[in-house]
Copies of this chain bind each other. A is one copy, B any other.
Amino acid sequence: MSEAVAATEAEKPARKQQQRSLVTQHKLLDAATEAFSENGFKGTSTRDIAERAGVHHPLITYHFKNKDQLWRAATDRIFREFNISLVKAMAEVSEADPRARAEAFVRTYVRYAYQRPALHKIILQESSKPSDRLDWLVENHLRPLFDEVVKSLKVLQEMGIAPAGNPALLFNMIRVSAGGLLALSLEIKGTSDIDFDDEGELDKLADMIIRVFFPSSAGD
Contacts and interface: CB of A to CB of B under 8 A. Distances in A.
Interface of A: 37-44, 121, 123-130, 134-135, 137-139, 142-143, 146, 150, 163-166, 168-173, 176-177, 180-181, 183-188, 190-194, 204-205, 207-209, 211-213, 215
Given A181-B172, A184-B127, A192 B43 contact: no
For the residues of A in contact with B, the DSSP-based class is helix
A110 B207 CA distance: 25
Contact of A138 (B127, B169, B181, B190): B190
A146 B192 CA distance: 8
B207 A165 contact: yes
A181 B187 contact: no
B38 A128 contact: yes
Contact of A165 (B41, B123, B211): B211
Contacts of A42: 39-40, 43-44
Contacts of A191: 138, 142-143, 146, 168
A208 B165 contact: yes
A87 to B, nearest CB: 18
A190 B135 contact: yes
